[in-house]
Amino acid sequence: MSMLGKRIVFIGAPGVGKGTFAKLLCKRWNIPHICVGDMLRDDVNKSAAGSLNNSGADEIAIFMKRGMLIPDSTICKYVGMKLKTLGNDNTRSGYILDGFPRSKAQVKYLLDNDFVDVVVHITLDRWVSIDKILGRRRCVTCGNDFNVANVMTDGYNMPPILPTDEGYQCPQIVLGKLCEPNFSTRSDDNVESLTKRLESYDVETTVAVESFKEFGGVALHHFPVKKGIEEADDLAEVIMQWFNIRK
Ligand code: AMP
């Protein structure tokens, strides 16, 4: 079954692995992964150049640095602008949207603009999320994401995600050579910012889930992660079955 044109939304606390699942399934289904946090970080790094000119790069950067959610009016405009540029009138590319919505107003924005077919709420025990967030590493040379956390107790099977090639290289060619990993951590993956982001999650994202129920009109699935990345097939199955049933 082709997943082209399907609009899928992943919501979940920071660290539940929604980005990792989204990347994997987007590659499999050949649809774009719209990771709002990554797009914001990229655009803020590029600073006032380009797309953020009209949306207030400075305002966005301040909220992100403090680990606070960006105001709804700003983030809705920003995400809407990105989604509208995908595909064209005849060929909608579809996507997995990751990291949006995180409030009732954002849910309403998605529904009012017909930006979503199916929502998956991904959950994970909080202690595992924290271990995974603090274990995140990005190679600054090739841009690949890794994770040094090793969560193997309480039934979890989440080994570190590391460069696998011999000689500890990233599985990516940069300028004709295998990349030498040069790990960095995200500036907001520290305990202080993380605590605020998890607090925001508890308040805002729970509201988002409840809002989808309240507004209705869209399928909402709960997907509790028990093992880790090996559950990607189960997650894909849940989503594809829903589209199959609707055919
Ligand atoms: P994340 O990578 O999802 O943890 O997002 C990093 C930061 O980007 C958050 O702490 C917020 O400042 C901002 N952000 C990402 N997604 C949203 C959203 N849906 N609404 C408001 N702010 C967001």
What pLDDT, in 10s, does the model give residues 138-172? 888 888 888 889 999 888 888 888 876 555 567 67
Residue 171 is encoded by which pair of tokens?
Answer: 């599985």
Q: How confident is the model at residue 21 (pLDDT cuts 50, 70, 90)?
A: very high
Q: Highest mean pLDDT: which of 48-52, 133-137, 164-168?
A: 133-137
pLDDT, position 88: 62
pLDDT, position 49: 47
For ligand 1, atom 6, which residue shows the shortest CA distance? Answer: 37
Within the chain, residue ranges assigned H as helices are 18-29, 36-45, 57-65, 72-84, 104-112, 126-134, 191-200, 206-215, 232-246
Cβ(132) – ligand 1 distance below 6 Å:
no
Q: Which of 69, 72, 78, 193 to mutate to test the pocket of ligand 1 (most atoms within 8 A of CB)?
A: 69
Average pLDDT of span 23-49: 87
Cβ(102) – ligand 1 distance below 6 Å:
yes
Measured distance CA(99)–CA(207) in Å, rounded: 14
Average pLDDT of span 169-186: 76
pTM assigned to the model: 0.81
Average pLDDT of span 213-237: 92
pLDDT, position 119: 97
Residue 202 is encoded by which pair of tokens?
Answer: 């508890």
Q: In this structure, are strands 95-98 and 33-35 parallel, antiparallel, or unpaired?
A: parallel
Q: With 50 as the cut, is the pLDDT of residue 93 above it?
A: yes
* Ligand 1 geometric centre to CA of 101 (Å): 10
For ligand 1, atom 23, which residue shows the shortest CA distance? Answer: 69
Q: Which long-range contacts (CB under 8 A, 24 or more apart) does 22-28 make?
A: 22/96, 22/98, 23/145, 24/229, 24/232, 25/96, 25/232, 25/235, 25/236, 25/239, 26/95, 26/96, 28/236
Bond before 159 cis per omega within 30 degrees: no
Cα→Cα distances 178→87, 162, 222, Å: 33, 14, 39
pLDDT, position 197: 75
